[in-house]
Amino acid sequence: MFISHFGISIGMSPWKVLDTGRRSAKENMAIDSELLQKMKPSDPPILHLYEWEGDAATHGYFLDPGKYLDLAAAEKWGLSLARRPTGGGVIFHVSDLAFSVLVPADFPHFSTNTLDNYDFINHRVKCGVKTLFEPELSLLSEEPSPLDEHCRNFCMAKPTQYDVMLGGRKIAGAAQRKQKQGYLHQGSIAIALPKEDFLNTILLPDTQVKEAMLQTTFSLLGREWAPNDLEEVRTLLKQQLEKELTQ
């Protein structure tokens, strides 16, 4: 339905790279869902790259966003909101690089252990992000406690096991959905934190989500960033992800 009009780059690698361009949150999530449903165990793995039409957010399959976001304010802001086919909490796609990886069941690095699959992909994400840094990055071994219960449902307000960390703060995370034919890994790399006026408008009052995001998320571009800076880093990270995952 969605992916038939897009070419897939194959090259000499066993991986395929699919770039579906800039779309709404619902369209991006529908493409990932379609890719997972159509995948066969013997297919090659896919790196799916995409971008967003304006500010966007996604939330886990079983999460009710109305409990954690001001939906009226989000609609007035023009926020493109969609449910992911994977689990997890709310994540804002305002200043990140989002990507997806589909790994079929016959691929050598497929595991029936979900944490092994996180380790496989996030280790390569770590290597890709490392090109921008001198310090060593790590994968989180133990989960910290959230500042409050709302923080538990925001991906960048509470790190989870095997997230990519720098200096004790989260720089990349993901959610997965595994089926018999393989799994879908939906990842996000924090290039910068959303602007405070955005967070103040969209988040519900009387929570510590904004404070937790400021404390626990590492921003590659710091507090002040411009759209041109964001696009430059996105382009670089796409290139590094493709190199690390498909080589």
pLDDT tens string 148-194: 999 999 999 999 988 999 878 999 999 999 999 999 999 999 999 99
DSSP, collapsed to helix, strand or coil, labels residue 144 as coil
pLDDT above 60 (res 6) = no
Using pLDDT thresholds of 50, 70 and 90, give the confidence band for residue 86: very high
Residue closest to 61 by CA, chosen among 36, 33, 102: 33
- Average pLDDT of the chain, as a whole number: 91
DSSP, collapsed to helix, strand or coil, labels residue 163 as coil
- Domain architecture of the chain: domains with CATH: 8-246 (3.30.930.10)
- Asked whether the CA dihedral 74, 80, 85, 90 is positive or negative, the reply is negative
DSSP, collapsed to helix, strand or coil, labels residue 72 as helix
Residue whose entry in the numeric block shows the structure tokens 């720089």? 171
**What's the pLDDT tens digit per position in 23-65?**
999 999 999 999 999 999 999 999 999 999 999 999 999 999 9
Using pLDDT thresholds of 50, 70 and 90, give the confidence band for residue 92: very high
Residue whose entry in the numeric block shows the structure tokens 């790196």? 47
pTM for the whole thing?
A: 0.92
Contact in structure between 45 and 107 (CB atoms under 8 Å): yes
